[in-house]
Amino acid sequence: MNGSAWAGRERRKGPRVAEALEGLALLGVGLAAATGFRIFLPMLIVSVAAHTGHLSLDERFAWLATSSALITLSVAAFLEILAYYVPLVNNLLDTLATPASLVGGTVVSVARCWGPPTIVTLAAMAALTALTAGAAARQPRPAPPTEATAPREAGEPIMAIVSIKSQRVTFYDADGWILRAPVSTGTTGRETPAGVFAVIEKDKDHHSTLYDDAWMPNMQRITWNGIALHGGPLPGYAASHGCVRMPYGFAEKLFDKTWIGMRVIISANDAAPVEFSHPALFVPNAEAVAAAPARAETLAREAAEAAKTADEAEKTAATAAREAASLTAALRKLEWLKKSANAELAFADKALAAKTDQAKARAEDLKQKAAPKAEAATQLDTAKADAKSKLDAAATTKVAAKAAETKKADVAKAASEAKLALEPVSVYISRATKKLYVRRNTHKPRPDGGEVFDASIEVPVTIRNPDKPIGTHVFTAVARTDTGLRWTAVTIDNGDDARDALDRISVPQDVLDRIAPTALPRSSIIVSDEPLSRETNYRTEFVAVLNNQPQGGFITRRPTIEVITRRPTIKVPVASGDSWGNNGFGFFFQRNWQPQSGNSFFQANPPPQTGNPRQRGGQYYQPMQQGWRW
C-alpha cells in the first residue's frame, strides 16, 4: 500500500474512532447512572487485569480485555465517584441513564471500530441495566403524584407525612390534608430513614456542608446529622442522599407556614391520620387551661422579685462576711498585743527585784514601753463583745441569703413549668427502654442553630407483655372540643393496633398530673418499639428511627457532636454515638460509595444498607449528668 492510500484510509478511520469514543463514553454514563459499582466494578477490575496481561480469559469473555470495554467501564467508574461528591452530576446521571445507554449503543454500533462482540455486549449491558436495574431502583408508578391543594381554607399545618412508597408528602391541619406534592427521597444505599421526627431548624437559603456546598433552598431540618426537607430536582423516583426533596415552588410556598417542632412522619408505606379516642389520651382541665396564662405571668413576676431579693441578700451577706473577717483579724491582733504586754510586764516586775539601781532603771524603762500594749489589750473584752454581735449578724445574713437563693430556684422552677404549660407537650414511650420522655419547646434560640427543648421529665413506665412488639403509633391532639381535645392516630410500624398499644401502657399518675391538665392542641403521644435515636438531644424534640427499614441516608452520616462546657445548674440530655460498626468490605460494592475516613471511633461512613433487622446499635439516648452543658 502506498503512502497516499494509507493516509486516506487513516483519514476515513479517524471519524469512526471519534464516533466510537463518544459512544463508549455515553455507554459509561449509562452504566454509572443505572447500576453503580456493584455491577460494573468487578468487570472493570477484570478488564484492567486482562488488558495488562495479568489475567487470561475464556473466549466468551475475551471482549472484557478490549480497549472499548476498558474505556467504557473506566468512564462509568469515574462518573460514579464524581456523582457521589457532586449532587448536580448525580441528578444528571439519573436523568440521562436510559437515553445515554441507547444512544451510546447506537453510535458505537455504527462506528464498528473494535469489532461486533465487544460493541454488542457493552451496548446491551448498558441498555438492559438502564431499563431493568434502573427501573427497579426508581420504582415508577402508573400515576405519579402531583401537587395538590385542598379545596377549602387551610389552617396551620400540624404534621407532615412522607410516603417513601408513593414518593409523596402530605401536610395536614386539624381538619385533614391541606397540601400534597411529589418528593424524591433517598436512593438505594442512601435511603431516607422511616420514623418520627420534628422540624428543628429552618433556613431559607441553605447550602450543604456535606455535598460540595449544594443548594438546598427552603430547608427544614429534622435531624442535626443532615436529614431535611428542602427544594430540589425531582426525577420521578428516589434519588437524594437521604433528604426529602420537594418541588422548588412548593418548598418556598410552604416555608413560612411551618414551625419549629412541627411533627414530620416518614413512613415506608402510605399512612394517614385517622380520628381516634382512648381513655389514656390527655384530657385537659378547662379551668387549668384558662388560668395558665395568668399563672405563668404571676409566677414570672414572682420569679423576678425572688431573683432580685436573692441578689440583694447575697450582696448584704457578702458585705457582712467582709466585715466579720476584718473584725476577726482585729481580735487576733488584740489578743497578740495582750499576750505580748503581759509577757513584757512580767519581765519588768521580775527585773525590779534586782539589787542594782541600773537593773531597776532598765526594768522601769521596759514597764513604760509595755504600757501602750497593755492599754490596747484592755480593749480586747470590749472588742469581743462588739465583734460577737457583728458575727451573729453576718451569720444571719448568710442564712437569709441561702433561703433567698432557695426560694429563687423554687419560684424560677415553678415559673418555668408554668410557662412550659402554655406550650404543646410531646411524650415518647419506648418499649425498648421502658421509659417515658417529655419534651416542650422553650423557644430559646441557640447560637449553634435551632431552639432548646425542655427535657426535665424522664421516668420508667410499665408495659404489659414487654417482649411483645407494640408498633409505632403517633397520637396527635389536633383541636379543642367541648370535653377536651380531638385526637388522631397514625401508625407506621405494625405491632399491636393503636388501641391495644395504649391499653398495655401504665403511665405514672404524678406525670399525668403534671402535663395532662394543661395539654393543648398540637400535643402528641408517641408509642414505639424503638429507643430514641442518638440524634435526640437538647436541640430536638424526638428522633425515632425504625430499625426494620433501610437507613442508608441516616447511618452513613456523622453523629451530632456535642461541645461540652461547664455550667453547674443545667441538666441537658444528649445522644450517645455508640456502635457504628463496619463490615470491612461492603462499602466497596455499593451505589454512591464513600471512602472511609481515618477516624475509627466515629466510623463516619459505614456501608449503605438495603435492609436492616431490628438492631439497636447506635440508637440509644442517654441524659447527660447534671453539672455540664453543651
- Asked if pLDDT for residue 568 goes beyond 50, the answer is no
Going across the sheet that includes 215-221, the strands are 201-207, 215-221, 228-231, 244-246
Q: Which of 542, 513, 509 is nearest to 440 (CA)?
A: 542
Does any domain span residue 109? yes
| pTM score of the predicted model | 0.64
| Residue 99 dihedral angles phi and psi, to the nearest 5° | -60, -35
| pLDDT tens, position by position, 455-479 | 989 999 999 999 999 999 999 999 9
Characterize the bridge pairing of strands 228-231 and 244-246. parallel
Give the per-residue SS3 of 322-380.
HHHHHHHHHHHHHHHHHHHHHHHHHHHHHHHCCCCHHHHHHHHHHHHHHHHHHHHHCCH
Per-residue model confidence (pLDDT) at position 48? 82
Quote the Cα angle for 152-155-159, to 5°.
Answer: 115
Domain co-membership, 104 together with 155:
no
Name the amino acid, one letter, at 252: E
- Which of 90, 112, 138 is the last residue before a domain boundary? 138
Cα–Cα distances in angstroms (integers) from residue 153 to residues 149, 211, 510, in the given order = 10, 39, 40
- Asked if pLDDT for residue 129 goes beyond 80, the answer is no
Q: Which of 169, 195, 336, 128 is nearest to 254 (CA)?
A: 169
Domain co-membership, 579 together with 602:
yes
Domain co-membership, 317 together with 434:
no
Q: Which of 38, 85, 45 is nearest to 64 (CA)?
A: 45
Q: Which of 507, 476, 504 is nearest to 490 (CA)?
A: 476
- Asked if pLDDT for residue 323 goes beyond 50, the answer is yes
| Residue showing cell 440530655 | 573
| Residue showing cell 431499563 | 131
Mean pLDDT of the chain: 75
Domain co-membership, 428 together with 413:
no
Does any domain span residue 280? no
Per-residue model confidence (pLDDT) at position 325? 77
| 3-class secondary-structure state, position 601 | coil
Domain co-membership, 477 together with 558:
yes
Domain co-membership, 384 together with 251:
no
Characterize the bridge pairing of strands 159-163 and 263-267. parallel
Per-residue model confidence (pLDDT) at position 91? 60
pLDDT band (50, 70, 90) for residue 594: very low
Share of the chain above pLDDT 70, in %: 62
Mean of pLDDT values over 142-150: 77
- Asked if pLDDT for residue 545 goes beyond 70, the answer is yes
Output 165 or 328, whichever has higher pLDDT.
165
Domain co-membership, 395 together with 458:
no
Per-residue model confidence (pLDDT) at position 309? 92
Domain co-membership, 358 together with 238:
no
Residue 218, domain extent: 148-275
| pLDDT tens, position by position, 546-565 | 999 988 877 766 665 444 33
Domain co-membership, 412 together with 523:
no
Task: Count the domains in the chain.
Answer: 4
pLDDT band (50, 70, 90) for residue 604: very low
Domain co-membership, 440 together with 578:
yes
Alpha-helical segments (H) within 154-271: 248-255
Domain co-membership, 306 together with 433:
no
Does any domain span residue 285? no
Domain co-membership, 23 together with 94:
yes
- Asked if pLDDT for residue 382 goes beyond 80, the answer is no
| pLDDT tens, position by position, 405-434 | 999 999 998 998 889 889 999 999 999 999
Mean of pLDDT values over 332-350: 67
